[in-house]
Amino acid sequence: MHQSNPVTALDALVIGAGFSGLYQLHCLRDRAGLSVKVLEAGGDLGGTWYWNRYPGARCDSESHSYCYFFSKALYQEWEWSERYPGPPEILRYLHHVAERFDLKRDIRFDTRVVAAHYDEDENCWQVRTEAGDRYRATYLVSAVGCLSSANVPDIPGLESFAGRWYHTGEWPHEGVDFRGKRVGQVGTGSTGIQSAPVIAREAAHLTVFQRTAQYSVPARNAPLDESFRRRVREDYDAIRDAVRSTPNGHPFRIAKRSVFDVDAKERHAIYESAWEKGGLQFRASFRDLVLDRTANDTAAEFIKQKIRAIVRDPRTAAALADIDHPYAAKRPPIDTDYFETFNRDNVALVDLRAEPIERITPAGIRTRAREYPLDIIVFATGFDAMTGPLLRMDIRGRGGRTLAEAWREGPNTYLGLQVPGFPNLFTVTGPGSPSVLTNMPVAIEQHVEWITDCISWMRANGVDRCEAAPEAAERWGAHVNEAANATLLPLATHSWYLGANVPGKPRVFMPYAGGLARYRAHCDDVAAKGYEGFVMCSGKPSAS
């Protein structure tokens, strides 16, 4: 660590100023009474919504659930304008929260944390920023997000490209002018499925490079009318109960019926009605869609037929519908006119399974079959998810052991909240927690409140250090695997849930698939039993 700059001493330091960091600051400062600062790499608050301003960016959680529930007054005074808000509206909401709870005065922007070392003698975390500023804090809370480390593929020749290229997760705030340009978009996940229709409307030509075809259901975004908004205000308690009791933190219930409880005609009518309604609720049409492959096949085939019916060119339709994994085994996108976009004269699909990318040239992208001349390349290629933002920092725990070393074979956590060997480091929505399998603000609130309660309990009981016990983490890791294997999710072998999108990343199913409500009950139980599975100590750490 640099020794030159003065050190700011704090009770707690929070890294990241998205949904997680903002609420963590409020809880630790205003409820637990700690001295707290938040360090944020971006120039302003918002996290995901600060960075992802690509064309077509939007929520797939419905607005009345994609928000905080901790304050009824806050919930009731905010009015959403659309079913699925985009970055400007979500950022307005988060700024409103920050002003209402006076958060900005304790956030340092344009401040990237590059190192955090646990100091055993002092029982504190020594933290360094890119600019060389130093902090020390008893508690370190990572609120760095699951999807904040952009994954730009290492394609040979990128540096030689004569045009401009962008990653959707680091989109320029001034926007990109596509008019008159030949654009190549690499990637067809949730992001690419949102951006392609909007880019196609502006660009001279759009080529979409698809490696893995994806299911998508129409979002059916629309303005919200006053009667819906009034109902949401009045139903706060019921909506809060719903998001806290459903497996994914969404405000809708998963149907109790199974796929084969109904005959083919009725099933088709159920899918048709869910398709018309739009959104992630499609997945909730039957209880066994992500549990049983034969059941899942019926939904998969329904969507594939829709794709073939929408897309006029049979070859393009076949490539788009050539989906090799169960429906919803990857996070299922929702879209506005994605498949329809391929009926435009200025849009072409390249199937990378038939002709893989060989390199990027000064003129464009060359596949095994030919070169595609381009002025702009858009990488909608996702993120080094969940572990990426943590491992990008030089985090060292007891004995100077790096997190990278501790996680060489994949993330090892207890409840996704702590890592053995890293005392007093808490990870909001860390790997091993429900996180990305949920409507995330609900999971974030649960983690932030649990961490706040844990730290308050430590202080009330004269405990200096809290650290996950290795046996508890091992048992939890086995349970995370077991929960994933009880679903169809691991069958999408190219999924970022498994780390498969980043070459060399260990293949470990990272989020907890056992459901948020069940997870919450388990975390509450652990706390009620005096933080069972965590080693709570006073005094200096023993050498180990």
Ligand X SMILES: Cc1cc2nc3c(=O)[nH]c(=O)nc-3n(C[C@H](O)[C@H](O)[C@H](O)COP(=O)(O)OP(=O)(O)OC[C@H]3O[C@@H](n4cnc5c(N)ncnc54)[C@H](O)[C@@H]3O)c2cc1C
User: Of the candidates 153, 157, 506, 533, which one interacts with ligand NAP according to CB under 6 A?
Assistant: 153
CB of 475 to ligand NAP, least distance (A): 28
Long-range contacts of 299-304 (CB under 8 A, 24+ apart): 299/259, 299/271, 299/327, 299/328, 300/215, 300/326, 300/327, 302/268, 302/271, 302/275, 303/215, 303/216, 303/217, 303/327
Residue 16's binding partner among ligand NAP, ligand X, none (Cβ under 5 to 8 angstroms by kind) is ligand X
Q: Of 68, 95, 90, which is closest to residue 80 (Cα–Cα)?
A: 90
15: amino acid identity, one letter:
I
CB 397 within 8 A of CB 120: no
Residues 364-403 within binding reach of ligand X (CB under 6 A): 389, 393
Single out the segment in contact with ligand NAP by CB under 6 A; choices: 130-138, 170-178, 191-199, 244-252: 191-199
Largest CA distance in the chain: 73
Q: What does 212 bind: ligand X, ligand NAP, none (CB cut-off 5 to 8 Å by kind)?
A: ligand NAP
The one-letter code for the residue type at 447 is H
The β-bridge partners of 534 are 468
Residues 6+ apart with CB under 8 A from 219: 58, 60, 83, 84, 278, 279, 334, 335, 336
Which SS3 state, helix, strand or coil, does residue 22 take? helix
Question: What distance lies between CA 539 and its chain's CA centroid?
Answer: 37
Q: How far apart are CA 476 and CA 177, in angstroms?
A: 48
Among 87, 184, 189, 218, binds ligand NAP (CB under 6 A): 189
Judged by CB under 6 A, does residue 501 bind ligand NAP? yes
Q: What is the CA radius of gyration of the chain?
A: 24
Q: Which of 10, 27, 50, 232 touches ligand X by CB under 6 A?
A: 50
With CB atoms as reference, the residue minimizing the distance to ligand NAP is: 189
**Shortest CB 274 distance to ligand NAP, Å:** 17
Q: Which is nearer to ligand NAP, 239 or 360 (CB)?
A: 360
d(CA 363, CA 356): 17
Q: Which helix (H) or strand (E) holds 376?
A: strand 376-379
52 binds ligand X (CB under 6 A): yes
User: Strand order of the sheet with strand 364-367?
Assistant: 357-360, 364-367, 371-373
Kindly state the smallest distance separating residue 149's Cβ from ligand NAP, in Å. 11
User: Residues 345 to 364: which contact ligand NAP by CB under 6 A?
Assistant: 352, 357
Q: What share of the chain is helix, strand, coil (3-state, %, to 5)?
A: 35, 20, 45
- One residue of 14, 39, 219, 243 binding ligand X per CB under 6 A: 39
CB atoms closer than 10 angstroms to residue 127? 26
Judged by CB under 6 A, the residue of 444, 455, 483, 492 near ligand X is 444
State the DSSP H helix or E strand holding residue 39, giving kind and residue range, or none if neither.
strand 36-39
| Per-residue binding letters, 456-495, with ligand X (x by CB under 6 A) | ----------------------------------------
Task: Indicate which of ligand NAP, ligand X, none lies near residue 298 (CB less than 5 to 8 Å, by partner kind).
Answer: none
Residue of 331, 366, 447, 505 that binds ligand NAP (CB under 6 A):
331
Q: Considering the rule CB under 6 A, would residue 18 count as an interface residue with ligand X?
A: yes
- Least distance in angstroms from the C-beta of 118 to ligand X: 16
Pick out residues in 437-496 that bind ligand NAP (CB under 6 A).
Answer: 494, 496
Q: Shortest gap between Cβ of 487 and ligand NAP (angstroms)?
A: 16
Minimum CB distance to ligand NAP, residue 153 (Å): 3
Task: Out of 12, 25, 34, 61, name the contact with ligand X by CB under 6 A.
Answer: 61
Nearer to ligand NAP, 190 or 487 (CB): 190
Cα-based distances in Å from 372 to 179, 348, 378:
18, 11, 14
Query: How far apart (Å, rounded) are the C-alpha atoms in residues 87 and 90?
Result: 5
Cα distances from 28 to residues 14, 24, 139, 468, 523, in angstroms, run 10, 6, 10, 21, 19
Contact code string over 105-144 relative to ligand X, x by CB under 6 A: -------xx-----------------------------xx
Closer CB to ligand NAP, 424 or 501, in the complex:
501
Q: Where do the H-state alpha helices sit in 392-439?
A: 403-406
Binding partner of residue 148 among ligand X, ligand NAP, none, CB cut-off 5 to 8 Å per kind:
ligand X
- The stretch near ligand X (CB under 6 A) out of 48-56, 346-354, 408-416, 520-528 is 48-56
Q: Which two tokens stand for residue 386?
A: 């969940």
Stretch that binds ligand X, among 93-101, 255-263, 265-273, 439-447 (CB under 6 A): 439-447
d(CA 508, CA 506): 6
Question: What is the Cα–Cα distance from 6 to 223, expressed in whole angstroms?
Answer: 51
Residue 436 or 516 with smaller CB distance to ligand NAP: 436
Q: Which does 41 bind (CB under 5 to 8 A by kind): ligand NAP, ligand X, none?
A: ligand X
Residue 59 CB, nearest approach to ligand NAP (Å)? 5
Per rule CB under 6 A, count of chain residues that contact ligand NAP: 26
Residues lying near ligand X in the complex (CB under 6 A) = 15-21, 39-42, 47-48, 50, 52, 57, 59-61, 66, 112-113, 143-148, 191, 389, 393, 428-429, 439-440, 444
**Chain contacts with ligand NAP (rule: CB under 6 A):** 58-60, 147, 153, 186-192, 194, 211-212, 331, 352, 357, 380-383, 436, 494, 496, 501
